[in-house]
Amino acid sequence: MLDFSILTEHFPDYMAGFLNTIKASVFALIGSFILGTIIAVMRISKYRVLRAVGAVYVEFIRNIPILIVVLFFFLGLPSLGVRLDGFTAGTLGLTVYTAAFIAEAIRAGIQSVPQGQSEAARSSGMSYMQTMQHVILPQAIKLVIPPLSNQFINLIKNSSVLTIVAGLDLMYFADIISSDTYVTFSTYIFAAAFYLVLTLPLSFAALALEKRLARSA
Amino acid sequence: MDFVGAYSPDNLRFLTEGLKITLYVAAVSIVLSFVFGTIVGTIRYMKVPILSPILAVIVETLRNLPLLLIIFFIQFALPEIGFKFTVTAGVITALTLFEAAMISEIVRAGLTSIPKGQTEAARSSGLGVLQTLIHIVLPQGLRRMVPPLVSQFISLLKDTSLAVIVALAELMHNAQIVMAQNHQYPIPILLLIAVVYFVINYTLSLLSRRLEARTV
Amino acid sequence: MKKRSKKMSSALLAGIVSVTALLSACTSTGGGTSASGGSTDAAASQLDAIKERGTLVVGVKYDTKLFGLKDPASGDVEGFDIDMAHALAKSILGDESKVELKEVTSKTRIPMLNNGDIDMVIATMTITDARKKEVDFSDVYFQAGQSLLVKKGSSITGIDDVTADTTIMAAKGATSIDNIEAKVPGVKVLQFDNYQDAFNALKAGQGDALTTDDAILYGMAAQDPNYEVVGEPFSDEPYGIAIKKGETTLVEAVNKGLADLKSDGQYNEIYKKWIGKEPVTN
């Protein structure tokens, strides 16, 4: 039933897509971590405007499909004079979308650090930024790691939308292979296996990490 | 950007048609995935022999695959081994499988969070295993699950947009047809459908918050 | 370094194979062993099934102006392929309204046909040797040729201007990809799920030209006058109606229908209605 010649003959295609999927996911993870941290800090800032901007970003992005965000970068931006290829537009879309979720995870992490600690740090002469950097964030990160690893798994899965904007990811190459060979079942089973090779170990690692943190807490 | 042209009455009517399909597919999938997710989650919570480990493998596999791949696989690969679906049924099946896997984990976590003491007390007062589950554990567990369940339903509604790849005539599909009319249309149309998805999903999340506030 | 990457990729391969074995074990337990669901249990022919059902289920494009386009204004699907579907329904079932249309894309049409979702594909589908191994074709019902669509004022005025540095848009599963890759080795081709997506991408400036059959491109140019078809067609694209492999009686019925349409002048009418001129007789 399974046609292994699909895998052996098209291994370079699968690999090309696989590597692009990893690249897009890693870039987007780094990008959305940075953007997410900024938005999380905005959401707990003492300035109302910043808080509002952060809240609007998170609520709006979290409630729309990722495909809209990706298509905005791919089809929408060119009419404003900015042109991005499918891979770049897709990766940026993933970044902007995932940042909303990461921002919430980080905010929850920061807010779980007892108020007393930041008051103590401030009264011992640290500035707001210093308090954040040396006292709050290091503790928050520990709480943020499990949800962050889940977001990374989601990123890998979501990166499959790149195929819709010809973003050269794993799903795109699977589409091409099945169009060329007219073999659907085997082509997508192998594609699924490539995804699982990435996501399953991450899933188990995330679970183990969560358990360990729960025990140490 | 041409907002007036993009929002012509014909285009809006066409998008509304797509929205109806989106809502229909989402509603059916939400009901089905809730039912199956609860059953699977409960079986795994009760650690039913044989069944439980099999379901664990299926749930982990589904949860770790892109939904896009599952949709395409069900529509075009499963028929090769004898399972056929219409486009609508295929999309509903894919959404149900994927989201039920997610929901079963939420249910399992919710049930596990009920203190052991309660089940033990119920059992020692003469209730059977199933009775304890139905009268003591499930009602409390489900209440705790409301927020994560609703956010999973929101994900499902957003995920219906992935059905574009099998040409289901839902909102995103119709939006793409409208966008192709003119190169000034993408931003207005993307903005419009983003607002539509947002309004529906945000309303859902507000409802969930109220429900949560009432039950706690 | 090289050795290490080789080791890594063989480890990866081993991982893929084991995960696959697991996956296929899961699906095959539920699936039974029959390789093709439709043909084994259907001792009766597809033609009989159509007659019994009383409707002809036809896979057509919804995104291709002139051949099969869903018009947001009327909600109807219109085009050359649609009229052919109605004419064939009249020939096979005696009533041109007994047609059920289903949307296909270049990527989905063969799987949908093989899965039995549709009786036939009338969707700008070129007859090729590779496809003949998958499906059966009727006689040629439209003669198209591959060409290029560009933004007006583009430096590309024909296939000779396409180089390895050119980015071409196409639809997944279309023959035009193989053709242009053979003509211009190394050309960059971006493939989309359907023609609307590809055209959207061209309009967004994601590439230099869109390639497919001239007939489809003329429809796009009619949709947006900022775009034009350039150069002479550089391939023959004879369109056929695809039917599930082995359904010879249905192929014969369709061919008879096509021949009748041509002899009674109805084919010329449909052709003129959409293409705007008389068909070239060869």
Quick: pLDDT tens for A165-177.
Answer: 999 999 999 999 9
Domain count, chain C: 2
Q: Is residue C50 part of a domain?
A: yes
Helix axes C248-263, C80-93, angle to 10 degrees: 110
What's the confidence (pLDDT) of residue B142?
A: 80
Q: Examine the domain organization and report whether C84 and C204 are in the same domain.
A: no
Cβ <8 Å between C200 and B176:
yes
Coil/strand/helix, residue C45 = coil
Same domain, C131 and C194: no
Strand-pair partners of C68: C64
Q: State both tokens at B47.
A: 């650690």
C74 with C106, same domain? yes
Is C32 an interface residue toward B (CB < 8 Å)?
yes
Name which of C27, C196, C197 is nearest B81 (Cβ-Cβ): C27
Name the one residue in this structure whose structure tokens are 């204004």: C73
Comparing CA positions, the residue from C96, C78, C79 lying closest to residue C87 is C96
Distance of CA C225 to CAs A115, B181, C150, Å? 63, 11, 11
Q: CA C93 to CA C86: how far, in whole Å?
A: 10
Alpha-carbon span A50 to A43, nearest angstrom = 7
| Domain presence at residue C23 | no
The CATH code of the domain that includes A91 is 1.10.3720.10
Rounded mean pLDDT, B158-175: 93
| Tokens found for residue B122 | 């119920």
> Which tokens go with B91?
């999309």
What is the CATH number for C92?
3.40.190.10
**C23/A74 CB distance under 8 A:** no
**pLDDT score of C41 more than 50:** no
Confidence band of A216 (pLDDT split at 50, 70, 90): low
Q: Which one of C15, C16, C107 has the shortest CB-CB distance to A175?
A: C107
- Yes or no: say if C212 and C146 are a contact pair by the CB < 8 Å rule: yes
Q: C69 in helix, strand or coil?
A: strand
C-alpha C16: how far from chain center:
32
In a domain, C78, yes or no: yes
CA distance C255 to C266: 15
Residue A169 vs residue C280, higher pLDDT: A169
Cα gap C145→C126, rounded to integer Å: 10
Residue-range definition of the domain harbouring residue A52: 4-216
Average pLDDT over residues C161-176: 90
Return the partners of chain C (3 or more C-beta pairs < 8 Å): A, B
pLDDT bucket at B144, cuts 50 / 70 / 90? confident
User: What's the rounded mean pLDDT across residues B136-153?
Assistant: 87
Question: How are beta strands C167-171 and C188-192 bridged, if at all?
Answer: parallel
Structure tokens at C215: 């007939």
Q: State the amino acid at position C179 in one-letter form.
A: N
How many Å apart are CA C119 and CA C101, to the nearest integer? 10
C229 within some domain: yes
Of B57, B76, B176, the CB nearest to C111: B76
- Host domain of residue C256: 43-143+238-275
Q: What is the pLDDT, as a whole number, of residue B69?
A: 96
Mutate to test the interface with A, among C9, C19, C126, C199 (most CBs of A within 10 A): C19
Q: Residue A130's beta-bridge partner residues? A: none
| C231-254 burial code (b ≥16 CB/10 A, e <16) | bebbbebbbbbbbbbebeebbebb
- Rounded to a whole number of angstroms, the distance from the CA of B192 to the nearest CA of chain A is 10
CA of B155: how far to CAs of B32, B106, B115, B204, C188, in Å? 15, 14, 29, 11, 35
Q: Which CATH superfamily is domain B3-215 in?
A: MetI-like (1.10.3720.10)
Do A176 and C193 count as a contact with CB atoms less than 8 A apart? no
Residue A162, amino acid: L
Instruction: Give the pLDDT score at B215.
Output: 60
What does the pLDDT average to over C20-43? 48
* Interchain contact A83–C (C-beta under 8 A): yes
In chain B, what are the domain boundaries?
3-215
Any long-range contacts for B114-118 (C-beta under 8 Å, 24+ apart)?
Answer: B114/B140, B114/B141
A105-146 residue pLDDT tens:
999 888 888 888 888 888 888 888 888 888 887 787 777 888
Count of domains for chain A: 1
Cα C203 from Cα C169, distance rounded (Å):
11
What are the tens digits of pLDDT across the range A1-22? 788 999 999 999 999 999 999 9
Chain centroid, CA C176 distance in Å:
11
